[in-house]
């Protein structure tokens, strides 16, 4: 598999180059492949905002509210352009990629503990809310991954971050893409308080129209599609859906440089202008 190099202006600052130049990144049989992937993602730029100013004005005049998209890219909402209207907690998830035995790109996923009070038993990416001591989103994602599944941050090379997503609880979630530079060195040790299982899935699955279903939902008169991916590995079945599915659809689209083979149909959600109230 080869990855095309985007012909766009560089997005990242010199520290990104320093990360890519580390000796550990060039080690292993997958180094050349991930180097090409890193070069591609180095030129990634989020899509431009497609918001209709008049639509926001009408909504605000009618109900004192404005619109955002929950569980979808923040860059297509007004949140990015008007941050003074929006206050939310920040979180990051790690999209940790490695090369599988069949030569495919795979992503590490977790099944949340059945004992958790929220989203118990659901599939998610390693990650969580930012702490004051975190230097950046990559720090948040790798710290949480170590706490949840025992993934040593030194085994992960951060390549880039995607535009933030908004969860249904208005949590700003930043997807962080990294590569596992030594697959054999990673021995999953799930934290039983948070994680029941650690597994991996092919990244390309999330842009294929296979083992996928969708349900039409409605929120305040706006219809959207909720995607479900049915996946089986080692005689265990997992259902990947919601925000996690949305993030992986976007990540796969960016990495493979092609849109999904199905309609995404993003929703539009209304919420109060002052979220902290």
DSSP string, 11-68: -S-HHHHHHHT-GGGG-STTHHHHHHHHHHHHT--PPPP---HHHHHHHHHHHSEEEE
Q: String of b and e for 142-181 (b: at least 16 CB within 10 Å)?
A: bbbbbebbebeeebbbbbbbbbbbbbeebbbbbbbbbbbb
pLDDT at 57: 39
Mind spelling out the 3-state secondary structure of 57-119?
A: HHHHHHHCEEEECCCCEHHHCCCCCCHHHCCCCEEEEEEEEEECCCCCEEEEEEEECCCCCCC
Q: Which two tokens stand for residue 226?
A: 């909720």
Q: What is the pLDDT along the chain (277 residues), one digit of tens a residue?
A: 333 322 222 323 223 333 333 334 444 445 577 777 777 887 777 665 444 444 433 333 333 222 223 454 555 444 545 555 555 588 999 999 999 988 899 999 999 887 765 666 899 999 999 999 999 999 999 999 999 999 999 999 999 999 898 776 668 899 999 999 899 999 999 999 999 999 999 999 999 999 999 999 876 677 889 999 999 999 999 999 989 999 999 999 999 999 999 999 875 544 444 444 4
Residues contacting 129, CB < 8 A, separation 6+: 89, 90, 91, 140, 171
CB atoms within 10 A of CB 204: 17
Domain positions in the chain? 32-42+88-256
Q: Which of 131, 204, 188 is nearest to 155 (CA)?
A: 188
Report pTM: 0.75
Sign of CA dihedral 11, 14, 16, 17: positive
Alpha carbon 254 to chain centroid, angstroms: 11
CA 253/CA 13 separation, integer angstroms: 23
Answer yes or no: are the C-beta atoms of 123 and 110 closer than 8 Å.
Answer: yes
Q: Superfamily for 32-42+88-256?
A: Nucleoside Triphosphate Pyrophosphohydrolase (3.90.79.10)
pLDDT at 249: 96
pLDDT at 232: 97
pLDDT at 165: 87
pLDDT at 62: 32
pLDDT at 236: 96
Q: Which of 227, 231, 225 is nearest to 213 (CA)?
A: 227
Q: Which residue is associated with the tokens 């890519």?
A: 20
pLDDT at 71: 52
Q: What are phi and psi of 84, to 5 degrees?
A: -65, -20
| 3-state secondary structure at position 134 | coil
Answer yes or no: are the C-beta atoms of 175 and 162 closer than 8 Å.
Answer: yes
pLDDT at 129: 92
């Amino acid at each position: 598999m080869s990855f095309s190099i985007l012909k766009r202006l560089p997005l990242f600052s010199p520290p990104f180059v320093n990360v890519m130049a580390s000796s550990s990144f060039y080690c292993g049989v997958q180094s050349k492949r991930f180097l090409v992937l890193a070069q591609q993602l180095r030129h990634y730029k989020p899509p431009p905002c497609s918001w209709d100013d008049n639509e926001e004005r009408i909504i605000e005049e009618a109900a004192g509210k404005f619109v955002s998209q929950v569980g979808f890219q923040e860059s297509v909402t007004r949140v990015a352009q008007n941050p003074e209207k929006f206050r939310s907690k920040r979180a990051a998830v790690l999209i940790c990629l490695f090369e599988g035995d069949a030569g495919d790109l795979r992503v590490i996923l977790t099944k949340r503990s059945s004992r958790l009070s929220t989203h118990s038993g659901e599939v998610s990416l390693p990650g969580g809310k930012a702490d004051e001591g975190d230097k950046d989103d990559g720090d948040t994602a790798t710290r949480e991954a170590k706490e949840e599944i025992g993934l040593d941050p030194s085994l992960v090379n951060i390549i880039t971050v995607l535009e933030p997503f908004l969860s249904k609880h208005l949590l700003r979630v930043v997807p962080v893409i990294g590569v596992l530079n030594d697959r054999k060195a990673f021995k999953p040790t799930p934290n039983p308080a948070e994680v029941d299982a650690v597994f991996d899935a092919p990244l390309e699955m999330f842009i294929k129209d296979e083992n996928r279903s969708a349900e039409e939902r409605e929120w305040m008169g706006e219809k959207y599609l909720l995607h479900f991916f049915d996946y089986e590995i080692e005689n265990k079945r997992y259902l990947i859906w919601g925000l996690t599915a949305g993030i992986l659809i976007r990540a796969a689209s960016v990495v493979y440089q092609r849109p999904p083979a199905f309609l995404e149909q993003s929703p539009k959600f209304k919420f109060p202008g002052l979220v902290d109230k």
